[in-house]
Structure 1
Amino acid sequence: MSIELNALHYVYLLFTLIILGVMIKKRDTTLVCILGIFILGLIATSSLSQSVMGVFNSFIYAIVELMGTILIISVIVGMSTILTNTGINEIMISPFTKLIKNPTLAYWTIGILMMIISWFFWPSPAVALIGAVMLPVAIGAGLPALGVAVAMNLFGHGIALSGDFIIQGAPKLTADAAGLAVGEVISASIPLVITMGVVTTSIAFIMLKKDLKNGKLKLEEKTNIRKSEENEENIKEVLSIKTKKTLSIIIPLLFALDVVIMFIAKLQGGDATALIGGTAIFILILVSLLTFKGKALEEITKHLVKGFKFGFEIFGPVIPIAAFFYLGDDGFLKVIGEFLPQGSEGLVNDLGIALANIVPLNPGVGAATLTTVGAITGLDGSGFSGISLAGSVARLFGAAIGKGVATLTALGQVAGIWVGGGTIIPWAVIPVAAICGVDPFELTRRNFKPVVTGLIVTTIVAMFIM
């Protein structure tokens, strides 16, 4: 099967390469994406007004596609804010502080705890919680602040965020761009996330132990923990200790029940997200009613608004790039119209078929390319703004190879988020570095070797499971 490529295909490919180049230069891609959408519309419709309208309509299309992801993140951050402000979060994790007796236990306990919390709340709200409560305990057990930051980075912004099995924000973006179901990408990502996580965290731990032993890494006497603005609100003493302890048991049980329901009812994607989001909303309402009494109505809105601000701030850079890459699939027909060649399966699929007829690809080349593309898209320090591109490229290469689209998509997602989500880009690790009081450049240097080694091993694994 072959499709005759036209100007639309070549322009789409050209702008994809330009976007990659802009990312390599560590510049913002919004203007390039808008120009790409405009020129595609102009070529397809030959109408200036329709092309201008297409830019705005592509944004609407992208926002509609992303709205579930934006809302779940917003709701969870809003809920997490009030749990942190009231001190419930501290009690929720206090049992873990009893487990930390030495640097080894500190590293793995903090890492695993960060991973679990990040699965449900995402790493951003987990950073302040873990740093503020666990950092002093870890230092008391002999693990330097830099070691705490490494553990938080690798387990939270690495393992938890690259898989994103519960909230499913990352796999939703890549799955949409690759034309797959979210469940397919999640299933394909499990062995890759495990491989990347085990290799990276193990190497980082060995390096930490070695440097502690030879004196290259020393324990700090004092720490510099930065509190978030929300933590400055003086409401931690409003609820009684008994009430906070009760809530600290109920809240994890509610989310655990959600997970059970997901497995029993086989909920995935939007349905799973809706269950978690609805639970978070009711937790936010319950805690607000107990904490603020007569002002609860206003406080519920206030914390939701905080969450919405965070959600749209995070996804603001994602919308233009997603708008462009959605045009590579069904988005073109819905935004611009039926201007593709007869028999076309979408710009990305057409290019993949054409590539298969020209260049003989194999799983090795495909896997190495997707890791490279994913890593490049992460250079902007977001982790999310470019993974739609990884999904599109995975679809292109999968069509060319004839298999492995889900594995390639998951590989691009893992690489993009590990690099840009907050492990080896200095401006992406600032939250963790700030809460632990360490130099962000020193933290990225510490993370670099484990993450790069992990990406190489994970790429090799992907070659064999495609």
Structure 2
Amino acid sequence: MVQLTLLHWVYVIMVLVILTVMLLRKDTIIPCILGVFLMGFVAKNSIMGATIAVFDGLIVAGRELLGIIVVISCIVAMSKLLEEIGANRLMVAPFTKFIKTPDVAFWFTGLVMLVVSWFFWPSPATALVGAVLLPVALRVGLPAIGVAMAINLFGHGLALSSDYVIQGAPTITATAAGVPVEAVMVQGTPLFFTMGFVTIITAFILLKRDMKKGLIEKPVLEDIEFNEAKEVKPIAKLASIFVPIAFGLDIVAMFLFELRGGDATALIGGTAILVLSSICVIEYKVGALDKITKFVREGFMFGMEIFGPILPIAAFFYMGEVDPVHAILGANALPEGSQGILSDMGVAMASIAPMNRPVVATMEMLVGAITGLDGSGFSGMSLAGSLAKVFGTAVNGSIAVLAALGQIGAIWVGGGTLVPWGLIPAAAICRVLPMDLARRNFIPVVTGLIVTTIVAMFLI
């Protein structure tokens, strides 16, 4: 067993500090920067070296996350164009004829949100699906809070936590855990769908019960903005057909050529940029040379808004692995034979006090959920992945399953299904209070977290 050094203990102490800050519902950027600085000081024995380490940490984290930041920015840029020309509404509108009852409205809205979120990210998808399907759902008797729950649980819950297409969430988690992205996605699939199935079924049953008892007030339809009269440009019809076909071909290509991880992400991102450019040229002609700048700018502003705060957090947690430590602190920072701070700690924990799988599954879920209290979801996934490495090593279990479990806890709590300040998009589009939506989601989401944790105990 590798002898634990001061560097190991500084890392562990700062993880505990960061967890405490998260419990207090405060942002963790300053503790993470301090953690990198202290580790740099210990490794290089100088304030100058520690200061350099802080910047190098951001560069290493940026290098790891750049692909995900870019692909999400490209997709959002494309969605901004589709929104401007009205193609987003045309893409969803044909499905409205299938909605005849409140039950169908709930499930149909949710499933459309799930698919759209996989391809366009939940935040843009919320505005798209809500604007088109909310009036239709209200007309057949589904209360606005029911529409908000469907959009929220399927989108910011199931779609964002699984993230099969864009692969932003599993990339962050897998990188911190030191396992392939596809391992988290494949081995985590039973957990993703257990969580989604249990949570959404529970939410639907409770919603139906309260609707039957007359406990949910239905809004007046005249108060809801209908979108049929909004301008739809001629190019919108072509775009509404071309875009689904383009991304459908991407899915086919992923299966035929066995594209996974970065290659799959690159295919999606490249398609988004080519679609954006093509539609811009067709619609705006020469003006496309300037017009496309607006969409690209908006897309990358969104990407940096989401991932900007994650860089310093990831910079710290990535230092639990060998390569980032060597890149930031130098090749001699760790003792000979070390497999990384996290692996070394896992081996040490297993030798001192052997841990069993129910304990580590429970701890992983709790930590993931705690990290989501900031309302982001993404900021805690590096920690969830890092601890999965520790716990998986300690019990000789599946690190990928544990990483997926922590990812579920972080996303479902902080990604926008439980924390009120993370529920604003779905609540706003449906004109309900975020606190009301949070209360509605609480029992279903907590039930799902408990059941998923129990299932994970048998899969680790």
User: TM-score, length-normalised on structure 2?
Assistant: 0.97
> Residue 282 of structure 1 is aligned with which of 271, 274, 295?
274
Equivalent-residue separation in structure 2 for 1:83 and 1:272 (angstroms): 23
1:319 matched to 2:303? The reply is no
Amino acid at match of 2:31: V
Which residue does the alignment assign to 1:308? 300
> Aligned-pair distance for 1:236?
4.0
> Residue 378 of structure 1 is aligned with which of 367, 372, 376?
372
CA deviations over 1:327-352 (Å, ceiling 9, x no partner): 11021111111211111111111111
Which residue does the alignment assign to 2:171? 172
1:414 matched to 2:413? The reply is no
> Aligned-pair distance for 1:188?
1.3
Segments of 4+ in structure 1 off by > 2 A? 222-227, 234-237, 243-247
Change (3 A) 1:440 1:170: same
> Aligned-pair distance for 1:245?
2.3
Q: How does 1:346-385 map to 2 (within 5 A)?
A: 346-385=340-379
> Residue 264 of structure 1 is aligned with which of 256, 268, 272?
256
Q: How does 1:139-158 map to 2 (within 5 A)?
A: 139-158=138-157
2:221 partner SS? coil
Amino acid at match of 2:35: G
1:99 matched to 2:92? The reply is no
Change (3 A) 1:226 1:333: farther
Equivalent-residue separation in structure 2 for 1:236 and 1:422 (angstroms): 31
Which residue does the alignment assign to 1:24? 23
Equivalent-residue separation in structure 2 for 1:352 and 1:19 (angstroms): 19
Equivalent-residue separation in structure 2 for 1:225 and 1:453 (angstroms): 32
Change (3 A) 1:121 1:147: same
1:405 matched to 2:399? The reply is yes
For the 8 Å contact 2:82–2:236, the answer to whether it is kept is no
For the 8 Å contact 1:145–1:223, the answer to whether it is kept is no
For the 8 Å contact 2:139–2:221, the answer to whether it is kept is no
Equivalent-residue separation in structure 2 for 1:174 and 1:298 (angstroms): 37
CA root-mean-square deviation:
1.5
> Aligned-pair distance for 1:223?
6.5
Equivalent-residue separation in structure 1 for 2:397 and 2:375 (angstroms): 31
CA deviations over 1:422-465 (Å, ceiling 9, x no partner): 00000000011111100000000000000000000001111111
> Residue 324 of structure 2 is aligned with which of 331, 334, 340?
331
Equivalent-residue separation in structure 2 for 1:360 and 1:345 (angstroms): 19
Equivalent-residue separation in structure 2 for 1:46 and 1:218 (angstroms): 64
For the 8 Å contact 1:364–1:463, the answer to whether it is kept is yes
Equivalent-residue separation in structure 1 for 2:110 and 2:28 (angstroms): 33
Which residue does the alignment assign to 2:14? 15
Amino acid at match of 1:298: D
1:17 partner SS? helix
> Aligned-pair distance for 1:360?
1.3
Equivalent-residue separation in structure 2 for 1:223 and 1:374 (angstroms): 42
> Residue 345 of structure 1 is aligned with which of 339, 362, 378?
339
**Aligned residue pairs: how many?**
457
> Aligned-pair distance for 1:222?
3.5
1:327 partner SS? helix
> Aligned-pair distance for 1:224?
5.6
Equivalent-residue separation in structure 1 for 2:288 and 2:364 (angstroms): 48
CA deviations over 1:352-410 (Å, ceiling 9, x no partner): 11001111111111111111011001001001011110000000000000111111000
Which residue does the alignment assign to 2:45? 46
> Aligned-pair distance for 1:294?
2.8
For the 8 Å contact 1:223–1:436, the answer to whether it is kept is no
Which residue does the alignment assign to 1:137? 136
Equivalent-residue separation in structure 2 for 1:358 and 1:121 (angstroms): 47
1:79 matched to 2:72? The reply is no
1:98 partner SS? helix
Which residue does the alignment assign to 2:114? 115
- Gaps of at least 5 residues in structure 1 are none
For the 8 Å contact 2:156–2:417, the answer to whether it is kept is yes
For the 8 Å contact 1:132–1:225, the answer to whether it is kept is no
CA deviations over 1:192-229 (Å, ceiling 9, x no partner): 011011101101101111111000012211376689xx
Which residue does the alignment assign to 1:294? 286
For the 8 Å contact 1:175–1:182, the answer to whether it is kept is yes
2:457 partner SS? helix
User: TM-score, length-normalised on structure 1?
Assistant: 0.96
Question: In percent, how many aligned pairs have the same letter?
Answer: 53
> Aligned-pair distance for 1:25?
0.6
Amino acid at match of 2:276: L
Equivalent-residue separation in structure 2 for 1:214 and 1:31 (angstroms): 49
CA deviations over 1:59-79 (Å, ceiling 9, x no partner): 011011100000001000000
Equivalent-residue separation in structure 1 for 2:268 and 2:439 (angstroms): 36
Stretch deviating more after TM superposition (342-351 or 284-293): 284-293
Change (3 A) 1:91 1:346: same
CA deviations over 1:275-319 (Å, ceiling 9, x no partner): 000110111112211222231111111101110000001011100
Equivalent-residue separation in structure 1 for 2:48 and 2:222 (angstroms): 58
Amino acid at match of 1:423: T
> Aligned-pair distance for 1:247?
2.2
Which residue does the alignment assign to 2:452? 458
Amino acid at match of 1:131: G
> Aligned-pair distance for 1:251?
1.0
